[in-house]
């Protein structure tokens, strides 16, 4: 006897709940590895992660999972009663599950095992290489990670480029054919601003220092104002800041500690706080449906970059923050001087320490290097020289230490090929959200200046977080902001803020 639409729905939810819970456990293992675990445990952890990854992959790739999702999609018009989700929600859930199932089913279990082991070994090798400042200590692990990433991307028949398969796992619908010209348009517009800033008088950089105990209070002060719920999360330290969303009720933030560069630490905390707010705001009632997650990595990054830059670098924000900064530092601080210092245009080697104007140039460099690796125009052995040449071309910097160069980011060590573009996609979305929120809240800056950030979070919760992945990110963005060219919005935002600070006018287009 065929199952009823109600039974199909319940069975699909059971499948989804299982692999989402397995994913949460893997997230906890990742969090433990980066926050608590000693380096000598990497081998056993790699075996644990590989075993659990195979179990999760088996659950997601099980033909029964796809059959149930197709059955739910086919009966979405059926009325399951007032206690069950609407037909449109069930249809969206089935499409999301089918997408996940199809991606998982396309990757053989042997490759899943190989990838899990490569990523755990890669993280350990990267840590050792960073400590020693020697790229060749990481090169063999990176070569294996690159081969695995290319093999995984080849399993997915999307787009015209092998790299499209990597992009699809993070930002569904993103393609090399559209990203490359968009990134070039943005980079071409940013280089003149950066070059002009080099020739202009820069605002003074404030020398500030915050003791470690005071930093914990300062971080919590900012996260509390943003709306982060510590009852459903925690804050820890890590070599590279990250956020793990185990479940909307268990969202963990890490940040780095730079006592003599407190603005850098605060920026990392606000950035990860933006990610965490998104995770905590996802529709928990949809957890077992496949819809309780972000609609894309770029949209996720838009939340972190929005809070970090659109809000966290604003003059109004520093006027609110200044009393807490003064208490932490133990001396008087001019809030306007703090704002000017935080918005200096100063090309740096490290992406996570970059100013708003140069940040996307870091991302564009990595995107083009990844493309070259995928196209085999560049070997892993040649990567440091290619990296250094790109930094000289785009940012005018001479990289001499691989810890500030090719070894600085954790992404390749974790096999996250295809993720870097998400940062710039996120910046583009964030600029659009900032423009729309300012239009909807004429008193926005007045609210920020007194620390009243709750209306901002409500706006994002209603238009972004609560929608989960019922539709793809571009649709969520368009529904929230209307007709908006995000590249234009970001360029104009940067000239309005940093250009104005340096007295640089935007060039008139030909």
Answer whether 395's CB lies under 8 Å from 194's CB.
yes
Q: Distance (Å, rounded) from C-alpha 177 to C-alpha 492?
A: 25
For residues 262, 268, 273 and 279, what is the CA-based torsion angle, rounded to 10 degrees?
Answer: -170
Region of 314 (left: φ > 0; alpha: ψ -120 to 50; beta: rest) is beta
What gap in Å lies between CA 270 and CA 305, rounded to an integer?
9
How many CB atoms within 10 Å of residue 7?
A: 12
Question: For residue 123, which of 145, 148, 147 has the smallest C-alpha distance?
Answer: 145
Active-site residue among 144, 272, 353, 370? 272
The token pair that represents 139 in the structure block: 């090169």
Alpha helix positions (H), 133-240: 139-154, 162-168, 176-198, 212-226
**SS percent in the chain: helix, strand, coil, step 5:** 70, 5, 30
Q: In a 10 Å sphere around its CB, with 0-12 CB exposed, 13-18 middle and 19+ buried, how is residue 79 labelled?
A: exposed
What is d(CA 221, CA 43) in angstroms, rounded to the nearest whole number? 39
The residues, any chain, with a CB within 8 Å of residue 215's CB and separated by 6 or more, are 257, 259, 262, 265, 328
- Catalytic site residue 83? no
φ/ψ bin of 212: left (φ > 0), alpha (ψ from -120 to 50), beta (otherwise): alpha
Give SS3 for 233.
strand
Torsion of CA 490, 495, 499, 500, to 10 degrees: -120
Q: Which of 251, 259, 257, 256 is nearest to 226 (CA)?
A: 251
How far, in Å, CA of 126 to CA of 136, rounded?
10
Residues marked as catalytic: 272
């Amino acid at each position: 006897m065929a199952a009823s639409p109600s039974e199909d729905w319940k069975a699909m939810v059971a499948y989804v709940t299982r692999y989402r819970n397995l994913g949460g456990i893997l997230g906890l293992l990742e969090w433990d590895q980066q926050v608590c675990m000693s380096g000598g445990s990497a081998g056993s952890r790699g075996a644990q992660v590989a075993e659990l990854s195979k179990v999760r992959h088996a659950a997601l790739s099980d033909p029964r999972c796809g059959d149930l999702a197709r059955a739910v999609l086919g009966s979405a018009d059926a009325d399951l009663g007032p206690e069950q989700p609407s037909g449109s929600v069930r249809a969206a859930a089935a499409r999301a599950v089918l997408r996940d199932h199809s991606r998982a089913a396309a990757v053989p279990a042997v490759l899943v095992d190989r990838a899990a082991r490569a990523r755990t070994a890669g993280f350990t090798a990267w840590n050792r290489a960073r400590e020693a400042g020697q790229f060749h200590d990481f090169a063999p692990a990176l070569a294996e990670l690159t081969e695995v990433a290319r093999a995984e991307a080849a399993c997915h028949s999307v787009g015209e480029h092998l790299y499209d398969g990597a992009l699809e796992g993070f930002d569904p619908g993103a393609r090399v054919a559209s990203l490359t010209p968009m990134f070039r348009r943005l980079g071409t517009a940013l280089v003149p601003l950066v070059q002009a800033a080099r020739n202009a008088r820069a605002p003074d950089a404030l020398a500030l220092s915050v003791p470690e105990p005071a930093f914990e209070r300062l971080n919590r002060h900012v996260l509390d104002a943003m709306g982060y719920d510590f009852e459903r999360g925690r804050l820890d330290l890590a070599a590279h800041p990250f956020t793990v969303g185990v479940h909307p009720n268990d969202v963990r933030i890490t940040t780095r500690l730079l006592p003599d560069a407190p603005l850098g630490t605060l920026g990392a905390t606000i950035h990860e706080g933006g990610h965490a707010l998104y995770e905590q705001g996802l529709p928990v009632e949809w957890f077992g449906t496949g819809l309780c997650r972000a609609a894309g990595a770029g949209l996720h990054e838009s939340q972190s970059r929005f809070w970090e830059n659109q809000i966290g670098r604003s003059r109004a924000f520093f006027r609110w923050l200044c009393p807490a900064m003064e208490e932490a530092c133990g001396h008087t601080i001019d809030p306007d001087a703090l704002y000017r210092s935080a918005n200096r245009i100063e090309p740096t080697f490290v992406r996570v320490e970059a100013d708003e104007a140069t940040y996307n140039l870091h991302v564009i460099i990595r995107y083009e290097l990844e493309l070259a690796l995928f196209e085999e125009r560049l070997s892993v052995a040649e990567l440091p020289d290619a990296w250094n040449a790109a930094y000289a071309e785009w940012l005018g910097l001479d990289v001499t230490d691989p810890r500030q160069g090719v070894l600085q980011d954790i992404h390749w060590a974790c096999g996250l090929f295809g993720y870097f573009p998400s940062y710039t996609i996120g910046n583009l979305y964030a600029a659009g959200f900032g423009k729309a929120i300012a239009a909807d809240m004429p008193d926005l800056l007045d609210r920020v200046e007194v620390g009243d950030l709750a209306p901002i979070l409500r706006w994002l919760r209603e238009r972004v977080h609560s929608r989960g992945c019922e539709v793809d990110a571009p649709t969520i963005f368009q529904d929230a902001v209307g007709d908006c060219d995000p590249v234009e919005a970001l360029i104009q935002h940067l000239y309005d803020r940093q250009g104005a600070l340096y007295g640089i006018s935007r060039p008139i287009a030909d």
